Amino acid sequence: MLKYSVIDETLKALAEPTRRAIVERLSKGPASVSDVAAPFDMSLAAVVQHLQVLEESGLIKTEKIGRVRTCSIEPKGWGTLADWIADRRTVMERKFDRLGEILAEDDTPTNKRKRKGKQK
Amino acid sequence: MLKYSVIDETLKALAEPTRRAIVERLSKGPASVSDVAAPFDMSLAAVVQHLQVLEESGLIKTEKIGRVRTCSIEPKGWGTLADWIADRRTVMERKFDRLGEILAEDDTPTNKRKRKGKQK
DNA sequence: CGAATACTAAAGTGTATGCTTAAGTATTCG
DNA sequence: CGAATACTTAAGCATACACTTTAGTATTCG
């Protein structure tokens, strides 16, 4: 319930099997809403809702021409996601370099005594 | 719902601001449950629940010694996540090569798609 | 020992999310 | 034109999720 961010919407969008399946379909090429929906055992309206979440997150984009809406991957959204993960891994690996195998065995006592009683 | 998978739990775990903040804290080094919880304006029990989700997803690991549970990053979980994203991007980029700049630029309102490839 | 510490476990609550169905709006085709 | 197509919108519902509070269990310290 903290603040919103791009990475938040991106990860929320992908944290759903149906939406990941949609994304995997689109990563092979653009498709209409109906085409995207076809393989799924759910209503077209439900798939449309998933597509909206994906579009708002910036992972895909859509464009309506005539009565057909064509959906495709939006590379930019994937960049920010990959960057965030890469950042985390960089910090971790720097830590590994610095501390050797401490994380691997991690019995080091981080006994920072907190004497503040503030628990909430 | 479809079937569960490792990547599903991983992404669900990270699709939450508090859990990402925890992960960012731990990526700088191991910490006790209390230490992890300290910066957050919520009960310790709530933070423990987040830690459980993160541990079940394989992104962190914990070990209890005495009365202190120490939490740390589990690099393996991050590998599977990064791999999944890398896979998606690989497929996309192969597609971009094939379709040229169609996916990259079509923000322009004048979208005359030249159909120089099979669409489906 | 008994009190403080550091979690742990369980039950409950409000809201968000993933669906459904039904009805409506454009657009294309014969 | 009128019917078929391709969504679109809205409302409702059941479950999942992020918390809360309360109470309990180990472990350490004076």
Greater confidence (A74 vs B4) lies with: A74
Read off the pLDDT of each residue in A79-89 and give the average, rounded to a whole number. 86
- Enumerate the residues of chain B whose CB falls inside 8 A of the CB of residue A66: none
What the block records as the tokens of A112 is 């920072």
Q: Mind listing the pLDDT tens digit for each residue in B60-94?
A: 999 999 999 999 999 989 988 888 888 888 877 76
Greater confidence (B53 vs A96) lies with: B53
Q: What is the pLDDT of chain A when averaged over all its residues?
A: 80
Q: Is the CB of A44 under 7 A from strand D?
A: yes
Neighbours of B109 (CB within 10 A): 6
Residue B10: CB partners within 8 Å, gap ≥ 6?
Answer: B57, B58, B59, B77, B80, B81
CA of A66 to C1' of C19 (A): 28
Whether residue A114 is predicted with pLDDT greater than 90 in this model: the reply is no
Name the one residue in this structure whose structure tokens are 């120490």.
B70
CA of B70 to C1' of C12 (A): 29
Whether residue B104 is predicted with pLDDT greater than 70 in this model: the reply is no
Residue B95 and residue A27 in contact, taking contact as beta carbons nearer than 8 Å: yes
Q: Is residue B115 part of a domain?
A: no
Whether residue B40 is predicted with pLDDT greater than 50 in this model: the reply is yes
Print the domain residue range for B74. 1-104
Nucleotide with the nearest C1' to A18 CA: C18
The minimum CA-CA distance between A90 and chain B, rounded to whole Å, is 9
Read off the pLDDT of each residue in A83-95 and give the average, rounded to a whole number. 79
CATH code, domain with B96: 1.10.10.10
- The angle at the Cα of B24, spanning B20 to B28, to the nearest 5 degrees, equals 160
Domains in chain B, number:
1
Q: Is residue B85 part of a domain?
A: yes
Q: Is residue B90 part of a domain?
A: yes
**Percentage of chain A surpassing pLDDT 90?**
58
The answer to whether the Cα torsion of B34, B40, B41, B42 is positive or negative is negative
Question: B27–A81: do the CB atoms touch at under 8 Å?
Answer: no
Q: Is residue B110 part of a domain?
A: no
Kindly identify which residue of chain B lies nearest to residue A29, measuring between CA atoms.
B95
Q: How confident is the model at residue A83 (pLDDT cuts 50, 70, 90)?
A: confident
Q: Is residue A120 part of a domain?
A: no
Q: Is residue A110 part of a domain?
A: no
Highest mean pLDDT among A89-103, B3-17, B100-114: B3-17
Question: B30–A110: do the CB atoms touch at under 8 Å?
Answer: yes
Q: How confident is the model at residue A86 (pLDDT cuts 50, 70, 90)?
A: confident
| Virtual torsion, Cα A5, A10, A11, A13, nearest 10 deg | 120
